[in-house]
Structure 1
Amino acid sequence: MSAAQEQVGQDDLQARLARRLRQVDAGERAVSAWMAVQIGGRFFLIPLSHAFEILPWQRPAPVPYTKPWFLGVINWRGSLSGVVDVASYLDANAAPRSEQDLAQCMLLTLNPVLEVNTALLIDHMAGLKSLTDFTAAYAPAPGSTAVAPFLGNIYADAEGKHWQELNLQRLAQDSRFLAIGL
């Protein structure tokens, strides 16, 4: 895929999401509550009010003496935002991503209301989801890797995929998330 085709695809995705977000703001809040994303082989549901903008991958400037999951900073709309590899943050043993893998990723910025200039590395956007998209819901098992203050219920869809709520507001307040230094 050429860079021009990739940009057109990214623009189309942004336009569709913007259109759906306007519909949500117009009163369809019960229809779509989450932005569905894939991060490191796991599927997450992010509350729409916590997400802000989806950016194409751009290589962050590295920051020395930071944790491996903190990839660096980008200049986004005139301000610096930290870039976090959520897959690595959740699993310290996650395999490092190749340059080719990173080129296929996107960055999801947190809503400025959360007061943390951060962009999360995501592998794939899966659109918008609501409760009607799922057949079952349950709480994660105690002691599993799916338990953290910022991780919520798990939902199963008709295809058998399991999606877990990822609360960015709680993530942005998590002391471990805020401690990027070694």
Structure 2
Amino acid sequence: MSNKEALRELQLRLASRLQAAREQPREAGWLAVECGSAGLLLPLGQAGEIQSASVVTPVPHAVPWLAGVANVRGQLHAVLDLAVFLGLREPQPGVAPRTGGQLVVLNQSMRVNCALLIDRLAGLRDSEQLQRLPEGDTPRPAFAPRQWRGAQDRVWDELDLSALVHDPLFLDVAA
């Protein structure tokens, strides 16, 4: 099986599991993704479609974490390079936007045409698979309220995408 077929099969499985997860009420459910070296949990209710990040068109005079725009089903979406936004990877000035990885489009209910560029999908998680870590002394941004510990002692940062799209840094895209 080629890599493209395997990736397409993974996307189809995740899409069907996302749909099933939306239909079943649960205490908490997340789409687990990786950006740089970090594991991130995106709430299922705030995440939308997932697609390959094959074509991202750069936007001039934008902040480094705005990778550009992408056409998703006939609509333009701003593409936020999540690793650069979170400071997990340095921006590459003068280099074409990074392709590869995946786009996680924000749910339509959030009324923002935005997609998050992530490195890798890591599946679905729920609160039964994770242990909430105690709050530390270091202040956390409003859009990253908690940390969780999962299998193999992996630490996952929970992101509140609704809080992210209202963060002043997120809203200021002009360089």
Q: TM-score, normalised by structure 1?
A: 0.85
- Secondary structure at the residue paired with 2:32? strand
- Gap runs ≥5 in structure 1: none
Paired letter, 1:132: E
The question of 1:181 aligning with 2:174 is answered yes
| Aligned residue runs from structure 1 range 140-151, under 5 A | 140-143=136-139, 147-151=140-144
Q: How many residues align?
A: 172
**What's the CA shift string for 1:21-56, capped at 9, x where partnerless?**
2322332524x6000001121111110011101111
3-state DSSP class of the match of 2:17?
helix
Task: Report the aligned-residue RMSD.
Answer: 2.2
Which whole-Å CA distance do the structure 2 matches of 1:125 and 1:71 have between them?
19
SS in 1 for 2:62: coil
Distance 1:155 1:55 in 2: 26
User: By how many angstroms is 1:10 displaced?
Assistant: 2.5
TM-score normalized by the length of structure 2: 0.88
Counterpart CA distance in 2 for 1:104 and 1:39 is 12
| Runs of 4+ off more than 3 Å | none
% identical equivalent positions: 33
Report the structure, 1 or 2, having the larger helix content: 1
Q: Tell me whether 20-29 or 67-76 shows the greater mean CA deviation.
A: 20-29
| Mapped partners of 1:107, 1:140: distance in 2 | 31
The 5-angstrom pairing of residues 1-182 of structure 1 reads 5-30=2-27, 33-91=29-87, 94-96=89-91, 102-143=98-139, 147-182=140-175
> For the residues of structure 2 that align with 1:43 and 1:178, how far apart are their CA atoms?
24
SS in 2 for 1:24: helix
